[in-house]
Amino acid sequence: MAAKIIDGKAIAQEIRQKIKEETAELKEKHGVVPGLVTILVGENPASVSYVKAKQRTAGDLGFYSVQENLPEDVSEEELLKLIDKYNKDEKIHGILVQLPLPKHIDERKILYAIDPRKDVDGFHPVNVGKMVIGEPCFLPCTPHGILVLLEKAGCEVSGAEVVVIGRSNIVGKPVANLLLQKRKPVGNATVTVCHTGTRDLVFHTKRADILIVAVGKPKVVTGDMVKEGVVVIDVGVNRIGTTPEGKAILCGDVDFDSVKEKASAITPVPGGVGPMTITMLMKNTLEAAKLWAGLPNEVS
Ligand code: L34
């Protein structure tokens, strides 16, 4: 079977169009413009590129957006001060601190400092807790994007055997949690989470109806590890080299060429999960703006 390619870029574009329209309406009817600040510490090339894309998208959608660039050696105290400033800024509804942070900064302290009502990443423990018990909250962007991809791909999730590889706080843990919930239209799956302590990874990958791979290593899942007809969501974006023109060469955590021969559907890298992550950040920022304006919203 040759897999259907799940076009994350196109799906992201479709959702962005809706966000753009809603943003215009919010401005016209209520005089509210969604505001997003993205905070980047240092110059990690991947982070620079992701934050740039977030800023560009926010601009395209008609948001008010601010970019803060801090040097690699900025103190934790300086960063906390900046977060406090935006916690109080009425024009800003969403605060994003791009991860990873340099080692001398305590990531936990930073994420805890963001006002949960501006936590458009969904990383604050208040939002993580709400997510786990199924209350309205900011859903983390990558897992939320994966739910939308599965929905748009017409994938039957209820009752499916879902196998997640990776247990990070950003992807593995939250996506596993969301998929086991009785959520509609995507949820109610039987979920297995595999990680570095898993004894027999292939035993699990071979039983997956839906396989979500968020490991951060190139091509760890190959065609011989999956069953015929599986739906594969590849979360990895690995930089495996540069072209003569200096552009990064990207590949996923999945060996696309061998897996696509057996899968019924698969996300490509680039152009799969990545664009959805950015789109769901915009969605969260729009909802945050409605929340602050006292309007009906999806996060409270
Ligand atoms: N705070 N830190 C915070 N929030 C996040 O949601 C993230 N993440 C992850 C890293 N750190 C974060 C992102 O934004 C990963 N991530 C992310 C965002 C966008 C893309 C990939 C990862 C993306 O757009 N990927 C493109 C290719 C981009 C390129 O050319 O480099 C794609 O098509 O997959």
Beta-carbon count within 10 A of 32 CB: 19
Q: Are residues 152 and 57 in the same domain?
A: no
pTM above threshold 0.95: yes
- For 213, the token pair is 């791979």
pLDDT score, position 194: 98
- Residue 256, amino acid: F
Chain-centroid distance, C-alpha 231: 19
7, 54, 55, 118: the active-site residue: 54
CATH number at residue 75: 3.40.50.10860
pLDDT number for residue 2:
84
Residues 6+ apart with CB under 8 A from 133: none
pLDDT, block means (10 residues), the chain with 300 residues: 93 98 98 98 96 98 98 98 98 98 98 98 98 98 98 98 98 98 97 98 98 98 98 97 94 98 98 98 98 98
- Looking at the fold, whether 101 and 171 belong to one and the same domain comes out as no
CATH number at residue 234: 3.40.50.720
Find the domain containing 80 and state its range: 30-116
The answer to whether residue 131 is domain-embedded is no
Distance 277 CA to ligand 1 centre (A): 7
Q: Are residues 89 and 169 located together in one domain of the fold?
A: no
Q: How many domains is the chain partitioned into structurally?
A: 2
CA of 29 to the centre of ligand 1 (A): 33
Find all residues with CB under 8 Å of 177, minimum gap 6, and list them.
131, 132
- Nearest atom of ligand 1 to the alpha carbon of 49: 31
Q: Which residue has the tokens 């602050």?
A: 292
Residues 105 and 161 in one domain: no
Q: Say if residue 85 is in the same domain as residue 156.
A: no
Whether residue 98 lies in the annotated active site: yes
How far, in Å, is the centroid of ligand 1 from the Cα of 177?
21
The pLDDT, as a whole number, for residue 294 is: 98
Length in residues, the chain: 300
Is residue 224 a contact partner of residue 263, using CB atoms and an 8 Å limit?
A: no
Pocket of ligand 1 (CB under 6 A): 49-50, 53, 96-99, 121, 141-142, 237, 248, 250, 269-271, 274-275, 277-278
Q: Are residues 100 and 157 in the same domain?
A: no
